[in-house]
């Protein structure tokens, strides 16, 4: 009887002990809290470290290929300079996670303005009209390199000055590069660059006119020329780069804190050589160098 009583007491003590362990959450995070969400588990490497609060940003990507900034590769995966730039930001900003949606270019702009998307990165220039609708950071993530395209056999054009009295291909009044030529001619009225306005013209038409000798040169972005001539394979070349136009990420107006963090990390990646190396990988040129340095390989072509 004494043994039976002792055994009963021990059993009761063990039962009470087990109940106490359960009520203190001894399963370490495997059980949901009263609200239904699990508490964040501390890192096993540093138990005292507070978990990082991650903000999800909705990023609008251009569905239309625009190599080498962005395009689908043979595995149907987005790649390019802008794509890798965003990946690098994602890696260096642990408090931010990107969610991408590929849509039309026009829809990207409307979506960022209305707040459907937090940002868009797609070879954007900065102008007063866009600044009224979108938030820009303070640090560009790259440049558009604008060049004069000439026949392979020509060696007489190395700058805009060499185009005075010569003919550029016709230009649409809405193109930003037309402004560059107009401003140049205002300073050189005695012997301006010759060009005509045209309502609509394709890049393919422009390079074909130069190849036939109808016009002396075509002023365009290096990327545009590379893409169109990869298809047409005309005997043309870049004579010289005439300007560098910064390209920007567009943010929704309410994302000033995000824009500030982008600026900080982008400056770091320029300073540590990450973005210059990325530029060489995708463009064959370090676009972050001065225009004079960028032009050196073309000086005697």
Fold category of 144-244 in CATH: D-Maltodextrin-Binding Protein; domain 2 (3.40.190)
Radius of gyration of the chain (CA): 30
Average pLDDT on 39-57 reads 59
28 pLDDT tier (thresholds 50, 70, 90)? very low
Q: What is the Cα–Cα distance from 123 to 105, expressed in whole angstroms? A: 11
**Residue 269 pLDDT > 60:** yes
50 pLDDT tier (thresholds 50, 70, 90)? low
Average pLDDT on 176-191 reads 92
Superfamily covering domain 55-143+246-288: Periplasmic binding protein-like II (3.40.190.10)
HSE-up (13 A, CA, CB side) for residue 272: 8
> What backbone torsions phi and psi does residue 146 show, to the nearest 5 degrees?
-100, 130
Proportion of the chain above pLDDT 90, given as a percent:
64
Please state which of the ranges 12-26, 38-52, 174-188, 270-284 shows the lowest mean pLDDT: 12-26
Position 298 scores a pLDDT of: 67
**Residue 19 pLDDT > 70:** no
**Residue 23 pLDDT > 60:** no
Position 67 scores a pLDDT of: 87
Structure tokens at 226: 């590379």
**Residue 92 pLDDT > 80:** yes
Cα 261–286–250 angle (5° rounding)? Answer: 35
HSE-up (13 A, CA, CB side) for residue 251: 18
115-170 residue pLDDT tens: 999 999 988 888 888 999 999 999 999 998 999 999 999 999 999 999 999 999 99
Range list for CATH 3.40.190.10 in the chain:
55-143+246-288, 144-244
Residues 6+ apart with CB under 8 A from 271: none
**Residue 22 pLDDT > 70:** no
**Residue 41 pLDDT > 70:** no
Q: Whole-angstrom distance between the N-terminal and C-terminal Cα of the chain?
A: 110
Judge whether 236 and 289 are in contact, CB under 8 Å. no
Burial degree of 183 (CB within 10 A; 0-12, 13-18, 19+)? exposed
């Amino acid at each position: 009887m004494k043994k039976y009583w002792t055994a009963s007491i021990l059993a009761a003590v063990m039962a009470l002990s087990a109940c106490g362990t359960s009520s203190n959450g001894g399963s370490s995070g495997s059980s949901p809290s009263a609200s239904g969400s699990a508490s964040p588990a501390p890192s096993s490497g540093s138990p005292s470290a507070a978990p990082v609060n991650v903000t999800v940003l909705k990023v609008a990507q251009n569905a239309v290929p625009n190599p080498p900034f962005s395009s689908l590769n043979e595995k149907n995966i987005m790649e390019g300079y802008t794509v890798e730039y965003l990946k690098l930001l994602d890696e260096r900003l642990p408090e931010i996670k990107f969610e991408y949606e590929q849509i039309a270019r026009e829809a990207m702009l409307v979506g960022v303005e209305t707040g459907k998307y937090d940002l868009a990165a797609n070879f954007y220039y900065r102008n007063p009209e866009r600044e009224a609708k979108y938030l820009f950071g303070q640090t560009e993530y790259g440049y558009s390199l604008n060049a004069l395209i000439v026949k392979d056999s020509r060696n007489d054009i190395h700058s805009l000055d060499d185009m005075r009295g010569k003919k550029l291909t016709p230009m649409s009044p809405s193109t930003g590069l037309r402004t560059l030529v107009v401003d140049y001619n205002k300073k050189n009225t005695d012997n301006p660059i010759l060009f005509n306005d045209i309502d609509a013209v394709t890049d393919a038409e422009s390079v074909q006119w130069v190849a036939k000798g109808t016009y002396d040169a075509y002023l365009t972005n290096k990327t545009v020329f590379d893409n169109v001539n990869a298809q047409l394979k005309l005997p043309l070349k870049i004579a010289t780069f005439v300007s560098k136009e910064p390209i920007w990420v567009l943010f929704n107006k309410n994302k000033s804190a995000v824009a500030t963090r982008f600026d900080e990390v982008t400056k770091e990646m320029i300073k540590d050589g990450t973005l210059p190396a990325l530029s060489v990988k995708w463009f064959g040129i370090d676009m972050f160098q001065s225009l004079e340095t960028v032009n050196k390989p073309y000086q005697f072509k």
